[in-house]
Structure 1
Amino acid sequence: MHLVPRLRSSLAVMKNPTYTGENRCIPCTLLNVVLAAVLSIAVMALVGTIDTSVGAPAGVATFAAAAALIYFRGYLIPGTPTFTKRYLPEGVLAAFDKAPERTDWGEIDPRELLFAFGVVVDDPTMDDLVLDPAFVDAWNRSIEIHRTEESELRRSLARLSGVERSDLEFRDGPHVFAAETSDGHLANWPSRAACVADAAGAVVLPQWDPDWDRRPVAVRADLLAVLRLFLERCPTCDGDVMLSQDVVESCCRRRDVAAATCRDCDARLFEMDIDLAME
């Protein structure tokens, strides 16, 4: 009766966690599956020239073995990330990349909306845009609650996204903090700190935005994301936040990004792709 748990345990040991599970690279996996199919067809044709009755079974067996290697080890062909990065179009890599997608605000620029609400104001002494001090005070108080009260975090995110908070689950993985429901994936943040900032902001911002309840969830999310650009302290450890230009490298692609990161805990709070060629 213990055969199934033992089998599962043995199979889990065979997996390479670096390239499987949450760390599996979809473009590399697809490329390896294609290569496995090509290899299987070649084996089937070669063996078929010798004995047509075993050509097809040999091809199927080859593909099954290759698929098992891809599943358990991540790759069939060593060096796949290099090949993928070099030969797959950037659009294909971007479509499957696990990093946060580039923000596309379309006709609605959340920065202009925040300025219209009075949340973002022009500070002549600093010659820069800053958050209204009253908003900052309210946001900081809300952040303090959300970083220590899991129930508040769930309640605010459920209200923001229109789901039941009892159906909300969090997954904290490498470089991503995700919210999921029984229906599937709900949202991604670059860190738990970014999620706390958004949940706290979702409580305060409606007091400044009279149309908040009528705005699409995507627009609300963009407004909250822009607010994170103005964070000076980390929502989870209270460390200093710095703005910088960085290079994010996933398994098979590199992206230039503008990023806000905590100096102390290294939590990424905001990340947006930039095109250095346009500067």
Structure 2
Amino acid sequence: MTVVDALRRPEYTGADRCWPCTAVNLAIVLLVSLLAVPVSGPGAVLVLTGGVALIYLRGYVVPGTPAFAPRLVRALGLAPYFEHVAPTPRSRPDRESDDLAADHDPAALLDAMLRAGVLRDGDDGDLYLTDKFEAAWTDEMATLRDADEAALATATAAVVPFDGEGSVQFDGISVEGEDGVVWLRPVHARADVAAVRAMEQFGVPERIRAPAASPLRLFTPECPDCGGVLAETTVTDGCCGGTMNPSETPNRRVVACDDCGVEVRDLGVVGVDEQRPDD
């Protein structure tokens, strides 16, 4: 992978480019470069060319742009000139599976989890992780947190239920083989690989481990990416909030990390008149 490939953010460029984000970033880069001219002419040129290059490759360069750019464009009355382009499937491969193994028997998985001591019945009738399994799972996630994405891809390939080669593609973890194809967001790859490794310690049959990883995300005890606290919140679809009309913006309830913001679970779309949880 080249430096340019590492910098690219296809979900924010090409057909998925957000023009409010692009316009605001170009204006900021131009302003900074002009302010730099009295200090250093060559430095100003470097700021301008470097900023434009990053915007071309990544969609934006100023951190937090998706949160403020559309609101700024609307406030300035420029929304009609910067039509938002919502993300398309091109931002992720068609082969996205979101699971290590899609086919499973829920009853068989639950029985195996209870027998192995992975899950337990609570006094309130709900299911919970056992303390021992939670500790094993968090330990494995901590180990994977120190691995780069190439190592994570290799680890993912080792736990899928088919022979395949792991790689980093489309900002995610891909495993491809003759008998199957898997694509996962890195946060899910860390959680699932760690869960499979922890289940192995508890003697869960190998045929059960990969199919059980995705259902176990309901019980993820901490952020797989940073170890932070998970909480329910709402997010807006699209890199900058759906359409330019806020009333038409689709919002989703998710479980996300309070510290790094990564989404771990999607709880569904929030209706326009539906009561939303406080962020």
TM-score calculated relative to the size of structure 1 = 0.50
The structure showing larger relative contact order (alpha-carbon pairs under 8 Å, at least 6 residues apart) is 2
Q: Which protein is richer in helix relative to its size? A: 1
TM-score (norm 2): 0.50
Q: Which structure has the bigger radius of gyration?
A: 1
